Amino acid sequence: MASRVVTPALLLLLFSIFITFSPALCLKQHPLDALTPSEFIHIKAIIHKAYPAQNLTFQYVGLDEPEKYTVLSWQSKSTTTTKSPPPPRRALVVTRLNKETHEIIVDLSTRSIVSSKVHNGANGLPVLTLDEQTYANELPFKHEPFIKSIRKRGLDISQVLCSGFSVGWFGEAKSRRTLKINCFYTNGTVNLYVRPVEGIALVVDLDEMEIIKYSDRFIVPVPKGEGTEYQASKQKPPFGPLLHGAPVVQSQEEGFSLEGHTIRWANWVFHLGFDVRTGTIISLASIYDLAKHKYRRVLYRGFVSELFVPYMNPTEDWYFKTFFDCGEFGFGQSAVSLEPLTDCPANAKFMDAYYAGQDGTPVKISNAFCIFERHAGNILWRHTEVTIPNKVITEVRPEVTLVVRMVAVVGNYDYIIDWVFKPSGSIKLEVGLTGVLETEGVKYTKTNEIEKEVYGTLVADNTIAVNHDHFLTYHLDLDVDGEANSFVKNKMVTKRVKDPNIPRKSYWTVESETAKTESDAKLHLGLKPSDLVVVNPNKRTKPGNPIGYRLIPGSVAGPLLLEDDYPQIRGAFTKYNVWVTPYNKSEKWAGGQYVDQSRGGDTLATWSLRNREIENKDIVLWYTIGFHHAPCQEDFPMMPTLSGGFELRPTNFFESSPVLKVRTISPKHVPLPNCTTKN
């Protein structure tokens, strides 16, 4: 793949085109807007002027967001009719030059470099770019020993594809910036991940872009391609059930509005941002309080901070497969274009996203987001009253929610990331796992042939689907009606009835404990029943309850690796399901600023060792949702979506139910059959 070269004349032309036609420039920018294509071009020009080197690569370019107090000050001064000028725009740029990582802050308003420093790599290396992964994946086909190995296996090399895998860290004092390459056979199917070519190991030095290690140690059969093709056009009878897509009744009025990247829907307003490392960022989410006649802030900033995926095969060919999908591969960089009517319903609106490629030029992801009202047939609230004589009263309100969706495809796995806003004040965070299993080719075709541990499930001939975990850690800077918040653990405690005249022997009650420090807030969920609430201790409801938002956990899973195992040292932020830290702009990434080959010295777990005070402070809630995945045959050759999630739900935030007076526009009634009616 040839590198893209931009001459000064072309650069000027591109910039003039963006200035003329970019719709983003027609609107006054929000201080949390993602960087625009024209800004990426500016940044590239500024960096190349300061570093006139031909071998400089852009590993990460993202918004260097203003300090929180600056954004909130700007927001408080802005009105719907008159916008206050946004604070100066800055970008964080991470480049690779002469085998060194440079961390640079660029001021776009002055077109100058504010700061620059060299990162020594002790705590890890920068995000891998798509271009360098592509270059590395092509190197085996120019390597004569690899070509001979493929011929020895009787495979058609034109049907072989290779993919790079991060190498992790396993105690090395110093290491080069490398990728390990695995290869797959596509003859007869595009489902390449289920046809691994085993026994061949390659290591590529990314700075030199050359193969530095090669071995061919053994041969096992390549799993068959029959029955693994997933393209609809390639399927043959007999077919499964015919499913009819659910119709969406579109109102004559749009259900939500967009102003730049600010979204207004029902009683919600929030900002939608994008970053090459995390993808979706939700900021300044506020809900309108009908009783108080104002918007009240709930969430300052929320995003997936890291996704840790360790595989459970400790053999020489697999032990290193312990991936950090945000910090190593870029979750936003891995976002794919969403398909109308399949990824998203007919009433969805789409938004594009941009990031800087390895050469600094903007790369467009069309339809990176879809936003839609979901009419899922759920009930917002209902009650049927039959106690009143001669009356039956039924009141039902259908639930309509707003969904912001992104899909990231990191190698074999597809991750569906949804932010769901409800008129009740809840924010539900949902994740769907689908795609293709990571498999190992083996000699076995029946389970009774297996004579040693295989670290997974035999799902087809010569195919082991390897056991693994998924841990998604969310960064949730909750501002419950203001920045000063506390974390309260409401424990359900069983007590014995002391009154001998009462026949009951026991009951449970709530005992509240406010976390004073970070250590107080660390939690393994599922051990004891409790309610976890972020409260504003400075504000109370009329009856006197502190206003708050409750964390309603989803599936509870924690790491099963030993604490001194190298992947777990790097992924120590998964040790607890819940962490709470004081707000710090620099503490965004649970796995550290630099994750590739990181050593665990800059993670959420290490920050929390300071045991800072968190009571009545501006705090950040970190929540990890985990999945232990022992694959089964139904997951092969394509995995049906496995869903999980959690919810942030108002708790004494409102004076009464916020959905009592919710109104819905009823669609035109169509008589439907009653299946129990007999003719």
Strands (E) in 253-361, as ranges, are 256-259, 262-265, 268-275, 279-289, 294-310, 322-324, 349-356
Report how far apart, in Å, the C-alpha atoms of 274 and of each of 1, 36, 80, 259, 439 are: 27, 10, 23, 16, 32
Sign of the dihedral defined by the CA atoms of residues 445, 446, 451, 457, in that order: positive
Sign of CA dihedral 652, 653, 654, 658: negative
d(C-alpha 607, C-alpha 133), whole Å? 31
The residue among 448, 237, 255 whose CA lies nearest residue 346 is: 255
Which two structure tokens, joined as six digits, stand for 303?
A: 């995003």
The packing angle between helices 8-21 and 37-50, to 10°, is 150
DSSP codes joined into one string, 604-664: HHHHGGG--B-TTEEEEEEEEEEEEE---GGGSSSEEEEEEEEEEEEES-SSS-TTTT---
Q: Among all chains, which residue has been given the structure tokens 């495809």?
A: 409
Distances, alpha carbon 643 to alpha carbons 146, 202, 325, 345, 418, in Å: 40, 35, 18, 18, 11
Q: Are 629 and 459 in contact (CB under 8 A)?
A: no
Backbone angles phi, psi at 635, to 5 degrees: -85, 0
Q: ∠ CA(284), CA(289), CA(293), 5° rounding?
A: 105
DSSP per position, 622-633: EEEEEEEE---G
DSSP class of residue 206 equals: T
Q: Please, what is the Cα angle at 641 between 399 and 276, to 5 degrees?
A: 90
User: Cα separation of 513 and 488, whole Å?
Assistant: 6
What count of other Cβ atoms lies within 10 Å of the Cβ of residue 88?
A: 14
Which of 135, 185, 300, 413 is the catalytic position?
413
Rounded-to-integer distance, Cα 528 and Cα 491, Å: 8
Specify the residue for token string 């769901």: 420
Catalytic residue among 33, 317, 325, 469: 325
- Annotated active-site residue 325? The verdict is yes
What is the separation, in whole angstroms, between the first and last Cα of the chain?
69
CA atoms lying within 13 Å on the CB side of residue 70 = 13
| Cα separation, 25 vs 19, whole angstroms | 7
The verdict on whether 156 is a catalytic residue reads no
**CB of 344 within 8 A of CB of 373?**
no
CA distance readout (Å), 381 to 384, 423, 513, 659? 11, 11, 32, 8
b/e sequence 393-408, b meaning 16+ C-beta within 10 Å? eeeebbbbbbbbbbbb
DSSP assignment of 662-679 equals: ----PPPP-----TT---
Q: Which two tokens stand for residue 558?
A: 């924690």
Active site residues: 325, 413
